[in-house]
Structure 1
């Protein structure tokens, strides 16, 4: 594809990458204003903004509200391995690369229409809602999660709250096993999203940053939904691998 047929913001982004790679824009340096860059490259402010947003999504730049856009220090990408069948290997609460996490559970939260559909319950039925924040080695947020569990399953048990009780901090698989319930499968639906303002503030990224939203639901042997969750994974920090075990076909 020739330069004449490429979108202007892609050409500007390529020029920015060269400046970063060649050290003319060193790590930690603040980029010139969009007006100045627009005059330099002969494009409008919107083109500069789109080029910067692309490099922010790639992890080369970072926006600091009220301050400007800066060259970001290189970061090692984290690898998240997803497995469709919990227990093969056993499903941990947090993926590798997460050094610590925090959870806050609230009981008797009415299920919204969308949550109720995923859990196959009536809208308004009480659930336990748990908000998770996962931190990396630098103690900065690397992903978030929100889960919902029907209180009709756990409400009268000691493990009703994921962040309290005898199995506080343990996985859904472990907590359900405590109730004699076996989690046999998980269904995950990943889709690309842009984080909103509240999510951006929690993750320490600019609003509009690209992320993967994983909608996950655990089921028991009766195909009953036990828990559903939204995992928000910033695209500039994580590679997501699906490790899917296949059953060997019978010999011919």
Structure 2
């Protein structure tokens, strides 16, 4: 193989990808079998198999037990708008994360006290083993799961206060900024880091994805005068959503 020349399996995958994109292999069409790929492209079984694996990893095709491999319906990515913090009033607990202004979201949440592991302790600036409140969310739009979120709040800050449980009490469903203000803590900064990785099995099950799909992960932390009062991991399927930031210019 000369410099710059693609391996055979990537060339085969690239041609099949082009056929999927241009509609020659439309959604729900069965992908050519391994034997057909081998004959059509003059490659070995190993090359044909690796080419199919590439398309599956890219989310372009999916295997159906006992039936074969089929072209997947390609979703049109929708936007998840983020603007730093939720508006006051608590009318919609994830307005900033909705795919469109006209969308109406629902959510499920469960909270549980636990001890901070090393990674979460570092993000919150507490000692490993310190008590935190962990809250897990599943957000839906039009009944479709669109986003998962797991947040941690140090109980040294919220413990024994009316806002200890984010989704219970007088400010249930309100954003972090409003909840902290209720206990005289002024949130003045939020940091978000966005990355991508293969989705965990339980994440993809909850989001309706398939093994190998990539998810976007937003690692968010709220601060009050340098004190971390909440950190969270927000997980969205990368093939269905794009994250759009609305940043005011001061």
Aligned to 1:152: 156
Change (3 A) 1:40 1:113: same
Gaps of 5+ in 1: 248-252
* SS state at 2:202 partner: helix
Deviation at residue 21 of structure 1 after TM alignment = 4.7
Contact 2:115 / 2:131 at 8 angstroms: preserved in 1? yes
Counterparts of 1:26 and 1:225 in 2: how far apart (Å)?
A: 49
Aligned to 1:224: 227
Deviation at residue 17 of structure 1 after TM alignment = 3.6
Change (3 A) 1:35 1:159: farther
Deviation at residue 15 of structure 1 after TM alignment = 2.8
Are 2:82 and 1:78 equivalent residues in the alignment? Answer: no
Q: 1:25-36, aligned counterparts within 5 Å?
A: 25-34=25-34, 36=36
Give the one of 167, 173, 176 matched to 1:172. 176
Counterparts of 1:100 and 1:9 in 2: how far apart (Å)?
A: 43
Counterparts of 1:134 and 1:40 in 2: how far apart (Å)?
A: 45
Contact 1:132 / 1:145 at 8 angstroms: preserved in 2? yes
Are 2:116 and 1:111 equivalent residues in the alignment? Answer: yes
Q: 1:1-252, aligned counterparts within 5 Å?
A: 5-21=5-21, 23-34=23-34, 36-41=36-41, 42=43, 43-54=47-58, 56=59, 60-62=60-62, 69-83=69-83, 85-86=84-85, 93-94=93-94, 95-97=97-99, 99-107=105-113, 109-137=114-142, 139-220=143-224, 222-247=225-250
Contact 2:28 / 2:70 at 8 angstroms: preserved in 1? yes
Counterparts of 2:65 and 2:230 in 1: how far apart (Å)?
A: 36
Deviation per CA, 1:182-227, whole angstroms, max 9, x where unpaired?
Answer: 211101111221112222222221222112211110001x210000
Deviation per CA, 1:23-66, whole angstroms, max 9, x where unpaired?
Answer: 55333344354454445432331222013322x1xxx4445677
* SS state at 1:164 partner: coil
Change (3 A) 1:110 1:239: same
Gaps of 5+ in 2: none
* SS state at 1:236 partner: coil
Deviation per CA, 1:107-156, whole angstroms, max 9, x where unpaired?
Answer: 2x00001101110111111111011111232x222221110001111111
* SS state at 2:188 partner: strand
Contact 1:63 / 1:205 at 8 angstroms: preserved in 2? no
Counterparts of 1:36 and 1:100 in 2: how far apart (Å)?
A: 46
Counterparts of 1:242 and 1:233 in 2: how far apart (Å)?
A: 15
Contact 1:86 / 1:185 at 8 angstroms: preserved in 2? no
